[in-house]
Amino acid sequence: MDTLIRPQAHRGGLILALGILGLVVCQVLGPFAWVMGNGELRGMDAGAIDPEGRGLVEAGRICGIVAAALLALPLVLGCLALLLFLAAAVLSGLH
């Protein structure tokens, strides 16, 4: 008797929830949604995961990317401000 190998159930709801929570509550959750979404989409493309939840996974992944960008933005701006401050200090010391 042939047994059918069914693909694993998708985690689209979880990934979307993490992505939305990353946008609204805690941006630290954004990278988790992003990474999990990437893995889930790879599994769907390979046929190991049920592709029915692809839209949920893609939406959660995109929310995760935006949340990760919002998380990184203050770090980048802070580094830029620090560099400008140090440059101003060095230039004022040259005069």
Three-state secondary structure call for residue 47: coil
Amino acid (1-letter code) at residue 20: I
Q: How many residues does the chain have?
A: 95
Return the pLDDT at 4. 72
Confidence of residue 5 (pLDDT cuts 50, 70, 90): confident
CA distances from 22 to 8, 25, 34, 71 (A): 25, 6, 10, 9
Q: pTM of the full predicted structure? A: 0.80
Domain ranges for the chain = 12-94
CA distances from 62 to 7, 17, 30, 31 (A): 24, 12, 9, 10
Quick: pLDDT tens for 10-58: 999 999 999 999 999 999 999 999 999 999 999 999 999 999 999 999 9
Quick: pLDDT tens for 59-86: 999 999 999 999 999 999 999 999 999 9
